[in-house]
Amino acid sequence: MRERELEQKLLQSAKRMGGICLKWVSPGLDGVPDRIILLPGGRIGFAEVKAPGKKMRPLQKKRKAKLESLGFLVFCIDKEEQILEVLHEIQSS
């Protein structure tokens, strides 16, 4: 499965849960996660979507650590099976 297909499945799954999954582009700040996931009840999380088996670059890991230090949930998704797990974790936070 390609990264784009995985990203589409994430979008569809978030929508089925009543949420939205926005593309995040931050001019001037490279390495931010691909998606901001907003779920009912004010739940928010971030996701970096990778093709199966691909890993985050060092700068992406740094941005992930910074967001987590601020109290946000940040995930790297590289398998379809992770999507519902991630969404449920964000929903229950």
CATH number for the domain harbouring residue 78:
3.40.1350.10
Q: 1 falls in which pLDDT band (50, 70, 90)?
A: confident
pTM above 0.85, yes or no: yes
**Inter-CA distances, 57 with 14, 15, 52, 76, Å:** 25, 28, 14, 11
Domain holding 39, by residue range, is 3-91
Q: How many domains, in total, are found in the chain?
A: 1
- Residue 2, pLDDT > 80, answer yes
Q: Which residues contact 91 (CB under 8 A, 6 or more apart)?
A: 17, 39, 40, 41, 43
- What distance in Å separates the CA atoms of residue 29 and residue 56, rounded to the nearest whole number? 16
pLDDT in tens, 23-76: 999 999 999 999 999 999 999 999 999 999 899 999 999 999 999 999 999 999
